[in-house]
Amino acid sequence: MGVNLPRKELFDVPEGVIYLDGNSLGVLPKGAAERAQKTITEEWGGQLIKAWNTAGWMALPQLVGDRIGELIGAPAGSVATGDTLSIKVYQALAAAIKMRPDRKVILSDNGNFPSDLYMAEGLIKTLDQGYELRAPAPEDVAEAITEEVAVVMLTQVDYRSGRMHDMNAITKRAHEVGAVMIWDLAHSAGALQVDMAGSNAEFAVGCTYKYLNGGPGAPAFIYVRPDIVDNIEPALSGWLGHDVPFAMELNYRPASATERMRVGTPPILQLGVLQEALKAWDGVDMGDLRAASQRLSDLFIKEVEARCPMLTLASPRDANTRGSQVSFAFEHGYAAMQAIIDRGVIGDFRAPNIMRFGFTPLYLDDADIVAAAKIIEDVMTNEHWRAEKYNVRSRVT
Amino acid sequence: MGVNLPRKELFDVPEGVIYLDGNSLGVLPKGAAERAQKTITEEWGGQLIKAWNTAGWMALPQLVGDRIGELIGAPAGSVATGDTLSIKVYQALAAAIKMRPDRKVILSDNGNFPSDLYMAEGLIKTLDQGYELRAPAPEDVAEAITEEVAVVMLTQVDYRSGRMHDMNAITKRAHEVGAVMIWDLAHSAGALQVDMAGSNAEFAVGCTYKYLNGGPGAPAFIYVRPDIVDNIEPALSGWLGHDVPFAMELNYRPASATERMRVGTPPILQLGVLQEALKAWDGVDMGDLRAASQRLSDLFIKEVEARCPMLTLASPRDANTRGSQVSFAFEHGYAAMQAIIDRGVIGDFRAPNIMRFGFTPLYLDDADIVAAAKIIEDVMTNEHWRAEKYNVRSRVT
């Protein structure tokens, strides 16, 4: 048994806000500001260059990687942190295709987050060796895994619908045909029970600013299966992935294990805040978390459907095939979401018509869900969203 | 005429420290801690996901890029920020080689920072198309620029010796033989008068945690010459380099100008601190800065040579061919530097035998230089560095 959920006391959420967007940017953990002060004033200001040793900056990426590893079922040393998720996708993909040199197909799905597909496109163009990216509908992926496929690259939870791939079944299918498996855990880490080791997938990547509450632009992570990592020649072979960075050798020699997937100088300020944020996971049982997530999501669907007939559920109804978010389709979804946000219930909108709500059991309880549903009902039924101000698009939604 | 230098009042340097390592990690600007607090507490904590618009996070990378552009003679819109310097090297190199598809040689030098060479190695292995990396001695580069060369990739100021390449002459030579030019400005931005537009080089990359005082792991930057950028197909084609990131299109379409060289979600916390740090450059005339840098460096050489005959100058004696650092070779350089640091004069050591001192006119004056030289003299002549504790190597030096 883990600690009781939620743990609202560990977070600062503004008064009057019900935050259903932790799947996009997690809330502020209480220790974050103090940690940033310490990093800046005591460490950078006080210890200057020496802080790489004296304040433990050199060790920080690995410590944070190991902590994330615990949350996704990955052994110590198998997760490296740094860069952005897009960069980590590129690293995984570049390594994976080299493992199947006789195959030219990269298989993803059209519900994958666009940046993952874009990074694949960029790699394919850069290589210019006849690779092909296939992106069928998510439900057609399993049967598209054929012996032509070098790499299957999927985001476990669809960023729009919340639809969840069966990680073990898809990985097994990929391996049956000899393909390499990459999972993007952007909407999984801190949201689901993930068992990377048990899945047997070769690679996983993810970000830390969503369910892990690392803050805006927090560093990403990459997992490489321990039995294959020693054969990986990193495409992005930066000095901090070198076996002995400060020997300043002229030639690259990869560091041991997943450390080789590090690239450049780590973002210490953001890593420190992330490390602080991860403390909120101490003692949390991921089974409890998943149960709470499903309870909150089911309750939200029930409440919203009962109150808002104009909204169409765009997520799987079965909680076992859904991540920790619920989406509704609505023609005027952009305007409606702006009006709802104006009332203190924060979700977000994804083109073309998806109103998206995320559920974060660390800082949400049943009462929040019911209160949110009532506000959504008021906005939808009284058509507050028709106000002109809600129909002017800003760049980010 | 610019503001008077130094501007010590803008920085927090610990009492009793003479910091000659701003070429590795710049000191703490006074506004940094407060800015981080604002980003964390008011923006992340108070505005949550909305802060991407309301706090201006979306615009931050470009604003910071434009400010850096002013310091390196690059027009607005031609500099993008984010990621690490190694990633930016990869982006520039991957783009540059596509511009000369009939050539297979990448030319650098063996005084380049190892990570630049490692990234080239990684790209070459990943492409597996017969590319070759050549790295002659820095003084032999000019004559190694032949018509076989696709790309010349150099760091302007040698990280060990401080030796400076003639940017305009080398660029001109590269263009004469039809090669593409990439400059790494790691030790140039904020240290020298740089005129990217005037140089006519196609690409430049750099970091911001050295002379620009952005803090540990501050984001990097990349410059692309405006007349060629529209033809660049980025290898690292992430969603924030897409023309319309939030349209969530399935296919990549590059954003206009250098914005296309952005990749993933920007590190907002570090970018905010960097933006704050860059305020120290307001009103600074880069000619004044270079003059002060040369005066400080010349004074240091004169003082140290007069006091420490056991140290051998490892930097060019002519200030016009030297960056903003001075290096001395000494067999026991590692131990000697530790002993000097223990006395409050902070430089650093680079394998195999280089004691390195950087000069940052924003926060150093002549009196600092003379005081530092006296302390170095005491450590060297009394052989304090022979103490056993100084001869045990830690990982980072």
Tell me: the pLDDT tens digits for A272-316? 999 999 999 999 999 999 999 999 999 999 999 999 999 999 999
Tokens 């400059």: give the residue: B183
Q: What is the tens place of the pLDDT at every residue in A309-367?
A: 999 999 999 999 999 999 999 999 999 999 999 999 999 999 889 999 999 999 999 99
Regarding whether A36 and A162 lie in a shared domain, the answer is yes
Q: Which residue has the tokens 């100084």?
A: B390
Q: What is the 3-state secondary structure (H, E, C) of chain B?
A: CCCCCCCHHHEECCCCCEECCCCCCCCEECCHHHHHHHHHHHHHHHHHHHHHHHCCCCCHHHHHHHHHHHHCCCCCCCEEEECCHHHHHHHHHHHHHHCCCCCCEEECCCCCCHHHHHHHHHHHHHHCCCCEEECCCHHHHHHHCCCCEEEEEEECECCCCCEECCHHHHHHHHHHCCCEEEEECCCCCCCCCCCHHHHCCCEEEECCCCCCCCCCCCCEEEEECHHHHCCCCCCCCCHHHECCHHHCCCCCCECCHHHHHCCCCCCHHHHHHHHHHHHHHCCCCHHHHHHHHHHHHHHHHHHHHHHCCCCEECCCCCHHHECCEEEEECCCHHHHHHHHHHCCEECEEECCCEEEEECCCCCCCHHHHHHHHHHHHHHHHCCHHHCHHHHCCCCCC
What pLDDT, on the 0 to 100 scale, is given for residue B397? Answer: 41
What integer best gives the mean pLDDT of chain B? 97
Residue A190: its H or E element: none
Q: Is the residue at A397 inside a domain?
A: no
Residue B3 lies in a domain: no
For residues A252 and A302, membership in a common domain is answered with: no
> Are B130 and B166 found together in one domain?
yes
pLDDT one-digit tens code per residue, B48-87: 999 999 999 999 999 999 999 999 999 999 999 999 999 9
> In terms of domains, do B268 and B298 share one?
no
The answer to whether residue A90 sits within a structural domain is: yes
Q: Per-residue pLDDT tens for A131-160?
A: 999 999 999 999 999 999 999 999 999 999
Q: Give contacts of B117 with chain A, Cβ < 8 Å.
A: 250-252
Chain A window 26-65: which residues touch B at a Cβ cutoff of 8 Å? Answer: 27-28, 32-33, 36-37, 39-41, 43-46, 48-53, 57-58
What is the overall mean pLDDT for chain A? 97
pLDDT at position B393: 65
Of B40, B118, B263, the CB nearest to A87: B263
Instruction: Check whether residue B107 and residue B228 sit in a common domain.
Output: yes
Tens-digit pLDDT profile for residues A89-114: 999 999 999 999 999 999 999 999 99
Catalytic site includes residue A363: no
Kindly list the catalytic residues of B: 113, 184, 209-210, 356
Asked if A160 and A314 count as a contact pair (C-beta separation under 8 A), the reply is yes
The full DSSP string for A250-282 is SS--BPSGGGGG--S---HHHHHHHHHHHGGGT
Closest CA to A221 of A152, A270, A159: A270
Task: Give residues 133 to 162 of A whose Cβ lies within 8 Å of B.
Answer: 135
Q: Does residue A112 lie in a domain region?
A: yes
Mutation for testing the A interface, residue in B34, B37, B126, B128 having most A CBs under 10 Å = B126
User: Which of A51, A209, A236 is opposite residue B122, by nearest beta carbon?
Assistant: A236
In this predicted structure, the answer to whether residue A371 has a pLDDT above a threshold of 80 is yes
**pLDDT score for B351:** 87
Residue A395 binned pLDDT confidence (cut-offs 50, 70, 90): very low
Same domain? For A21 and A55 the reply is: no
- Measured between CA atoms, the residue of chain B closest to residue A25 is B49
Which neighbouring-strand residues pair with B220?
B82
Q: Choose one of B247, B281, B315: the last residue of a domain.
A: B281
Q: Which residue has the tokens 């340097």?
A: B13
On whether both B232 and B290 belong to a single domain, the answer is no
Q: Is B21 on the interface with A (CB under 8 A)?
A: yes
What are the pLDDT digits (tens) for B18-33?
999 999 999 999 999 9
Tell me: the pLDDT tens digits for B116-141?
999 999 999 999 999 999 999 999 99
pLDDT at B372: 98
The helix/strand/coil state of A98 is: helix
CB-based contact, A367 to chain B, within 8 Å = no
Chain A touched by B367 (CB under 8 Å): no
The residue out of A252, A281, A310 marking a domain boundary is: A281
pLDDT at B151 over 60: yes
Catalytic residue among A223, A356, A359, A363: A356
| Together in a domain, A256 and A367 | no
Q: What is the pLDDT of residues A3-43, one digit of tens each?
A: 999 999 999 999 999 999 999 999 999 999 999 999 999 99
Range of the domain at A104: 32-281
In whole angstroms, what is the distance from residue B241 CA to residue B80 CA? 10
Question: Is B84 an interface residue toward A (CB < 8 Å)?
Answer: yes
Q: Which of B281, B299, B321 is the last residue of a domain?
A: B281
Half-sphere exposure in the Cβ direction for B264 (13 Å, CA): 29
Rounded to an integer, the average pLDDT of A374-393 is 92
CATH number at residue A23: 3.90.1150.10
pLDDT in tens, B306-318: 999 999 999 999 9
User: Cis ω on the peptide bond leading into residue A352 (within 30° of 0)?
Assistant: yes
pLDDT, tens only, B269-282? 999 999 999 999 99
Looking at residue A397, what is its pLDDT? 41
Query: Could you report the per-residue pLDDT of B199-217, keeping only the tens digit for each?
Result: 999 999 999 999 999 999 9
Average pLDDT over residues A253-281: 97
Q: How far apart are CA A52 and CA A60, in angstroms?
A: 9
- Tens of pLDDT, residues A210-243: 999 999 999 999 999 999 999 999 999 999 999 9
Check whether B303 has a pLDDT greater than 90: yes
Per-residue confidence (pLDDT) for residue A74, from 0 to 100? 98
pLDDT(A396) > 50: no
* Chain A residues closer than 8 Å to B37 by CB: 33, 36-37
**Residue B396 belongs to some domain of the structure:** no
pLDDT at B100: 98
Q: How far is A247 from chain B (nearest CA, A)?
A: 6
Is A1 a domain residue?
A: no
The ipTM estimated for the assembled molecules is 0.97
Model confidence at B396, pLDDT cuts 50, 70, 90, reads very low
In DSSP terms, A242 is beta-bridged to A254
Instruction: State the distance between the two ends of chain A, measured CA to CA, in whole angstroms.
Output: 38
Looking at the structure, tell me whether residues B327 and B292 fall in a common domain. yes
Task: With beta carbons less than 8 A apart as the criterion, state whether B203 and B235 touch.
Answer: no
The rounded distance, in Å, linking the Cα atoms of A333 and A345 is 14
Q: Does B275 share its domain with B387? A: no
Choose the catalytic residue: A21, A116, A158, A184.
Answer: A184
- A114/B264 Cβ within 8 A: no
Candidates A118, A264, A394; nearest CB to B239: A118
- State residue A394's pLDDT score: 53
Predicted pLDDT of residue B47: 98
Q: What pLDDT does residue A393 have?
A: 65
Residue A123 lies in a domain: yes
CATH code: domain of residue B174: 3.40.640.10
Q: What is the percentage of chain B residues whose pLDDT exceeds 70?
A: 99
Closest residue to A44, CB basis, from B86, B215, B351? B215
User: Is the same domain home to A77 and A53?
Assistant: yes
- Please state the domain count of chain A: 2
Residues of B in contact with A261 (CB under 8 A): none
Shared domain check, B170 and B81: yes
Q: Which of A11, A19, A86 to mutate to test the interface with B (most CBs of B within 10 A)?
A: A86
B188 inside domain: yes
